[in-house]
Amino acid sequence: MLKKLCIGILSFCLVFSVAGCSDDLLSEDSETEQSSETTKLENGLSITVDKDSGDMSISRPKAAGDTHMGDEDVWTIFVYMCGSDLESESGLASNDLDEMLSVDKSDAVRFVVQTGGSSSWENKNVNRDESQRFLIQNKKMTELTSSDDVDMGESSSLTDFLSWGVENYASEHMGVIFWNHGGGSISGVCYDENHDDDQLTLREIDAGLLSVYEDMTDNFEFIGFDACLMATVETANICASYADYMYASEEEEPGQGWNYEDIGNYIADHKDTSAKDLGVNVCDSLKEENANTQDANIVTLSVTDLSKINTLIENFNTFAQNMYKAAQDSSTLSSLVKEIEEADAFGSNSFWEGYTNMIDLKGMVEGCSDEAKGAKKVLSSLEDAVVYKVSGSTHKSAGGLALYYPITVNDSSELSVFSDICVSPYYCSFVDMQNHGSVFSMIGSLTAGDSDDYEYSDDYYSCELYDDGSYDCDYSDDYWYDDDNMWEMCCQYAYDELSDSYECDTTQDDYWNYCNDYEVDGESQLITFSSDPAIDSDGYYSFVLDENGLKNTANVYAEVYAEEEDDNICLGQTWDVSGDWDSGEFIDGFDGYWLSLPDGQNLNTEIVDWGDDYITYSTPILLNGDQTNLRITQYDNDDVYVEGIWDGVSDNGSSSRKVTQLEDGDVINILYDCESSDDYYYGDDYVVDGELTIDYNCLYEGDYYYNFVIEDVYGNFYTSDYVILYSDGNGETYLYEN
C-alpha cells in the first residue's frame, strides 16, 4: 500500500504545488532502466528523483524576461483585502487603509487595493455590496473600478485582480499582500464572510498566481501574508515559483496587523530598497508596534528568501526519508512523536480552542535529529532561507517556518489537502503511518482479549496484536515506485477560457477516509504496565510501564476533579507528574495548589503551550454570555500573566487575530466538563473590577479526584482509575484508594 499512497495519493508533482500539471509525463529514457527519473511540467519546472537513494532535486522556471515590467524606482503593492469580521466587528481593514493614506507624499510608493469580503465597512469609500479597487498614493484614495460583489475566496477573483493590476500598474518593484485571517497550510487565507466564509486554499493561490505569472517578465519581489499562521514550508513552496521573498508569521498575528504607514514611509525614503530590506522593516515595525501590548510575547514574522526553498525541501525530503525508516521501529516512533510534540506549536492545538496543527520546522528537526540523519543539512538550509525574523519571548527559538503535523485530525478532508501540498513523499508516509496506527490502536482496543490474537491489515502494512497489548508490524519496503509511472496524478490544473485563468480540478480518491471512522476512546490497549497505577507504600500514586507500554507512550499528565452537586467536574490538567523515560516509572508530584480567580473559583486548565520556563493554559469561559477562552501563562517562579481573551480556531479553520483584554464590568463564568454527562457545569458569576489577577493557592479543604492520562503515539490515550485526594486547605494533600 505504501507505493499506492505515494503514487495515487501524493501525486508527487502536486507535492510541489506547481501549476500547469500535465499527463504528458517525461522520463529521461523509457527504453532503458535509469537510476533517476525526471518529470517536466508545462511551466518548465523539473523534479528529478534518484530511484536508489530517493534523493530529489528541483528546478523552477523564472519569469520569461529579465527586464522590469513598468515604472522605474516605483513600488506597487497589490493588497488583496478581504475584510471579514476583522472589519465588520473591529474596523481593522479601515484602520490599515487610513495608515496607507498617512504615508508621506511620494511617487515611489503606491498601494493598489481590492476590497470585499466584509458585511460592513467603517471606511466611507468602501461599499459592502461591491467589489472595488482603489489607488492609494500621495495621501489620496481614488476608486479605480467597481463591480458586483465577488467571492474573495475564489482563485478567479485573485487572478482577475492581479491580472488587471499588473496590466495597469506594473512597476519596477511589485509585491502582493493577502490581508485577512489565516489558518495555516491546510485552511489557507482570506475568508469571505459574505460568501459562507469561503477562503483561498494554497492550491487556489497557486492557480491564481499561475494565471497572472504567464504574462509577466519579472517575479513579484515579495508575497506577504498580513494574516495568521501562514509562514509555513508549504506556503513558501507555493510562493517560490512566483516571487523572490515571502513575509509571513508562524504564529497568530496581532489584530492590528502590519504598520502600513511605516512600510510606505520606508519605501518613500528608500525607493531603491531591496525586497529583503523592506521585509526587515515590515518585521521590525510589527514588533515595535506591539512591544507594549499583550501580544508582545507571541509576535512572530519572518522574511524567507524563496530562491533557497528548493534546497530546503530537497534536504528535508532526505531527512524525512530517514525519519520514516526509523519510525518503523515502534519504540523509535514513540521517541519521534514525543520530540515533535515538544516542538514549538502555533495557533491552537487543544480541545477547547481547536487545532491548527502547525509545528515549528526547526523544533521538529532538532528534536528528531538523534533518530534521523540529515538534520544538520535541513537546519543549515533553513537558516539560509529565513534571512530575517522577529519573535516574542514565547517563541524565541522559532526558526521562521512551520510545517503541518496532525496533532489531532478533524476528518479525511484535512489529510487529503495535506497530501496535495506536502513537500515530501516520505513525510507524508510518516504522517500516514502514524494515522493508520491510530485506527489500529482503536481496533485493537475493541478486540484485544476477545481472542488469542487479532490481525489487522490493509495494503499498507499488516499487524498482529496480542492480548498483552504488544504487536508486530510488517511494513513494505517498496517506497514509491510503481513500474515507471511514479508521477501518476490525481489533480490537474484546467485552463478556463471564459475566466482566462487556471482552476484546480481536484479528483482525490477516498484513501484518507479511514480516519473518518476513528474516534479517540480513551481506552488505548497499547499502554501496558509492569506495575499498574496504584498508591505505593510511601503514599504516592505511581505506575511502571513495561517495555511495550513505554515504547508506545508519547506523554503523561494528570487530571484533577472536584465534587459539585450530583457530578464530578474537571478542574483540568496538570504536569505535576515525575517520570523516568528510561525505566518507565512515573509518580504523582501534585502539590495541592491550583490556579483560581480572585474569589477562589478554580480554573478549568487545559495545557496549550509550554517552554523551558513557562506553561500556557486555556480556560473555557462564558464572557458576558458568549463562549470563549481565557489564556494565562504561569512561569517557573509561579508568577501568572493574564494574556487575555481569545476565541481560538473557528469552524472554518481560521485563527482569531484578536486577543482582547477584559474590561471593568465583564462577567466571567468558568465552564467545566462533567464526568458522567456531556453537559457543562457553569461557575458562579465573577465581575471584573480592575486588572484581573489569577492566584496560585492551595485547594480548599475537601476531597478531590486525581488520575493519570497516558497518551499513546497514535493519539489515543489510557486513563487510570481515580484516587481520592484530600486537601487540608493549607497545602498538604493525602491520597486514598477510591
Please state the rounded mean pLDDT for residues 35-45. Answer: 58
Output the DSSP codes for 139-183: TEEEEEEEEE---TTSHHHHHHHHHHHHHHH-EEEEEEEEES-EE
What confidence tens digit (pLDDT) does each residue in 235-261 have? Answer: 999 999 999 999 999 999 987 899 999
Kindly report the CA angle at 230 between 228 and 231, in degrees rounded to 5?
Answer: 120
CA distance 406 to 349: 10
Backbone angles phi and psi of 135, in degrees to 5: -105, 125
- Identify the pLDDT of residue 4: 29
Running DSSP on this structure, what letter comes out for residue 583?
T
Residue 557 has pLDDT above 60, yes or no: yes
Residue type, 547: E
* Distance, first Cα to last Cα, the chain: 47
Of 60-69, 151-160, 257-266, 621-630, which gets the smallest average pLDDT? 60-69
Cross-strand partners of 614: 635
Residue 14 has pLDDT above 60, yes or no: no
Confidence of residue 503 (pLDDT cuts 50, 70, 90): low
Handedness of CA 717, 718, 721, 727 (dihedral sign): negative
CA distance 426 to 145: 47
Cross-strand partners of 305: 245
What confidence tens digit (pLDDT) does each residue in 283-299 have? Answer: 999 999 888 777 788 89
CA distance 421 to 62: 21
- Identify the pLDDT of residue 491: 36
Residue (of 423, 434, 438, 502) closest to 185 by Cα position: 423
Please tell me which residue, 340 or 654, carries the higher pLDDT value: 340
Query: C-alpha 371: how far from its chain's center?
Result: 24
What confidence tens digit (pLDDT) does each residue in 326-375 have? Answer: 988 878 888 898 899 889 999 888 888 888 999 999 999 999 999 999 99
CA distance 421 to 145: 35
Residue 653 has pLDDT above 80, yes or no: no
Residue 696 has pLDDT above 60, yes or no: yes
CA distance 508 to 8: 9
| Mean per-residue pLDDT over the chain, rounded | 83
* Set of cell numbers at residue 678: 456531556
Contact by Cβ (8 Å): 385, 309: yes
Which residues 6+ apart lie within 8 Å of 29 measured at CB? none
What confidence tens digit (pLDDT) does each residue in 418-463 have? Answer: 988 888 888 988 888 877 655 544 444 333 333 333 333 333 334 4
Output the DSSP codes for 276-287: HHHHHHHHHHHH
What confidence tens digit (pLDDT) does each residue in 468-482 have? Answer: 444 444 433 333 333
Residue 666 has pLDDT above 80, yes or no: yes
What confidence tens digit (pLDDT) does each residue in 187-224 have? Answer: 999 999 999 999 999 999 998 998 898 888 889 999 99
H or E element: which one contains 735?
strand 733-737
Contact by Cβ (8 Å): 111, 137: yes
Please state the rounded mean pLDDT for residues 696-705. Answer: 92
Burial of 13 per CB tally in 10 Å (0-12, 13-18, 19+): buried
Contact by Cβ (8 Å): 197, 243: no
Which residues 6+ apart lie within 8 Å of 498 measured at CB? none
Q: At what angle do helices 425-447 and 309-326 cross, to 10 degrees?
A: 30
Please state the rounded mean pLDDT for residues 114-134. Answer: 97
- Identify the pLDDT of residue 384: 98
- Identify the pLDDT of residue 727: 92
Please state the rounded mean pLDDT for residues 687-699. Answer: 94
Burial of 373 per CB tally in 10 Å (0-12, 13-18, 19+): middle
Burial of 732 per CB tally in 10 Å (0-12, 13-18, 19+): exposed
- Would you tell me how many other CB atoms lie within 10 Å of the CB of residue 44? 13
CA distance 657 to 253: 6
- Identify the pLDDT of residue 291: 83
**Site of grid cell 517560490:** 240
CA distance 258 to 278: 13
C-alpha dist (Å) from residue 334 to 83, 329, 520, 551: 43, 9, 18, 6
Residue 26 has pLDDT above 60, yes or no: no
- Identify the pLDDT of residue 494: 55
Contact by Cβ (8 Å): 151, 118: no
Strands 243-248 and 220-226: parallel
Considering the entire predicted model, what is its pTM? 0.84
Contact by Cβ (8 Å): 175, 75: yes
Confidence of residue 507 (pLDDT cuts 50, 70, 90): very low
Half-sphere exposure in the Cβ direction for 638 (13 Å, CA): 9
3-state secondary structure of 123: coil
Residue 490 has pLDDT above 80, yes or no: no
**Site of grid cell 478531590:** 704
Residue 84, sorted as left (phi over 0), alpha (psi -120 to 50) or beta, turns out to be left
